[in-house]
Amino acid sequence: MDAGRRYLDLLKRTLTGTVYAAEPARAGQPVEKYLEQFIHHYFANAYPHTCVPLARIDNVDHCVRAALADGIEGDLVETGVWRGGVTIYMRAMLDVLGDEHRRVWAADSFEGLPRPDPTLYPKEAAAHDGPLLSGPLNNLAVSLEDVKANFATYDLLDERVVFLKGWFKDTLPDAPIERIAVLRLDGDYYESTRDPLVALYDKLSDGGFLIVDDYGEDDWTYCRQAIDEFRGARGIDDPIHVVDGQCVYWRKGGDR
């Protein structure tokens, strides 16, 4: 393994906290047990800087590598960054792959998830007010200052990282992003998936990657519905690839 890959591998394990403790395994155990381990690993500890599992970081790695190798124009964007881990990884990749111009955009309220309308989105509203999200997960609120500090910990805070603070519906439509090579949606809820898609999909270059972290989170979100409706309305039939039980991605214009 060359030094660049070794660095990214260590960074991935550090960001996920799996350099210190085993990753909570979702498959093969009761959901209550998994949730207990999940809360303990990611939320009782301050050191994991992402709650995205290793397989999904590998998927980010794959998409960014392929986009750059194929000369796909544009920046790297994540909508929903929590403690910043995936965007930290994206910024590190640009250095390792020798890119000197692209930027990483980190969009978030930096005050957690918005409260879903209980009439339109009853499952999401119940989860939002439930004992997990409103309890130990603190509705996933992490301040901008804390996320910047996390970037600085890895010496990756510079002018090529751009923070968009506010609700997606307000910040994304006029965000000064020109082209996008990789767009990663991780806002959990229906509107938090739909709003970035509507605002940014046309800026995704042909051959660029669209990643959806929460497509399979049907127990508590309508993320899948937001994606399916958008694909239907826009006539998108690019094949969807499964990363794990929840996360999926497709390549705009189809696979190459």
Ligand X SMILES: C[S@@+](CC[C@H](N)C(=O)[O-])C[C@H]1O[C@@H](n2cnc3c(N)ncnc32)[C@H](O)[C@@H]1O
Interface residue list for ligand X (CB under 6 A): 50-52, 78, 80-82, 85-86, 108-109, 112-114, 140, 167-168, 186-189, 192
- Give the closest residue to 60 by CA, choosing from 8, 3, 19: 8
Which of 50, 59 has the CB closer to ligand X?
50
Which of 89, 250 has the CB closer to ligand X?
89
The residue number with the shortest CB distance to ligand X is 80
Residues facing 248 on adjacent strands: 212, 242
Which of 14, 192 has the CB closer to ligand X?
192
Q: Which residues, including other chains, have CB under 8 Å from residue 137's CB and lie 6 or more apart?
A: 39, 43
Tell me whether strands 104-108 and 75-79 are parallel, antiparallel or unpaired.
parallel
183 and 204 in contact (C-beta within 8 Å)?
yes
106 and 75 in contact (C-beta within 8 Å)?
no
Which of 106, 207 has the CB closer to ligand X?
106
Least separation in angstroms between residue 237's CB and ligand X is 27
Least separation in angstroms between residue 102's CB and ligand X is 19
Least separation in angstroms between residue 108's CB and ligand X is 4
Q: Which helix (H) or strand (E) holds 208?
A: strand 204-212
Least separation in angstroms between residue 167's CB and ligand X is 4
